[in-house]
Amino acid sequence: MISRKKSLREVYVWELPVRIFHWVNATAIVVLCVTGYIIGNPPAIQHATPPEANYWFGWVRFIHFAAAFVFILNFIVRLYWAFAGNSFARWNNYLPLTRKQWRSIFDTTKVDVLLLSPKPVYDIGHNSLAAFTYFGVFVLFFIQTITGLAMFCVSTNNVLEPFFTWVLLKCGGFFVVRQIHHIAMWAFILFTIAHIYLVFYHDYIERNGIASSIIGGWKFVREDLAEEYETEQKQQQQLQKQKDGIANETTEK
């Protein structure tokens, strides 16, 4: 039996746009990895029937391209929400800009990576190590998007071809861009495996509903952490009001 020493409070962490982004992104990545692997390693098939009766590989490419555009549009919406969303979705969560974030990275590394401490690190949103890792994944999103669009536009004689030809020229040709795109696919696969493992690992040791939170948006947070978060939010609101007041006085003068 597992007992708790501290009471818990429900906190609404992941807003609906963040949850939609997560599941659309997960679905798109799975489809892209499966179809991308087939495109990168097409099976040798010989048929006696007419080619138009065996257009399955064309459908694989079409599904890959369709999922790619869903992936790109979904990513653009998430970039917007990094500025419009709540404090847990904001861009500054993903860059270690404060001493508190660096301390969280160090402490989480000791627990999750080096296994030097059995005591879990509790955070309401992403812990700083996970958030910084997601920033790296966002960079990977960008690389995958640029290389994918470069190959798509050039190989299909697309109207956007002039805007992406420079990628092929800078990288050393189509083959090099294809290799970067293919290696990035495996990086996504490895990240997905680690991500799923760590979600259920933290859900087990922290007992905060992290796995279900990406469906409903709510996490179970220790009362002291929730109070600390509320205090920080009030202080930030007061500072913002003071800045707005100073700005209004300056404008009136």
- Residue 33: CB partners within 8 Å, gap ≥ 6? 185, 188, 189
Q: Determine the pLDDT at residue 1.
A: 40
Q: Decide: 213 and 14 in contact? Cβ < 8 Å.
A: yes
Rounded Cα distance, 93 and 226, in Å: 17
| Predicted model pTM | 0.80
Of the candidates 131, 153, 150, the residue with the CA atom closest to the CA atom of residue 142: 150
DSSP-based three-state secondary structure for 198: helix
Mean pLDDT score of the chain: 82
**Could you list the mean pLDDT of each consecutive 10-residue stretch along the chain, which spans 253 residues?**
62 91 95 92 62 73 93 94 89 87 83 71 80 92 91 76 77 87 93 90 80 88 73 68 63 60
Q: Determine the pLDDT at residue 143.
A: 92
Inter-CA distances, 148 with 37, 80, 168, Å: 14, 22, 11
User: What domains appear along the chain, each with residue ranges and CATH number?
Assistant: 14-220 (1.20.950.20)
Q: Decide: 89 and 81 in contact? Cβ < 8 Å.
A: yes
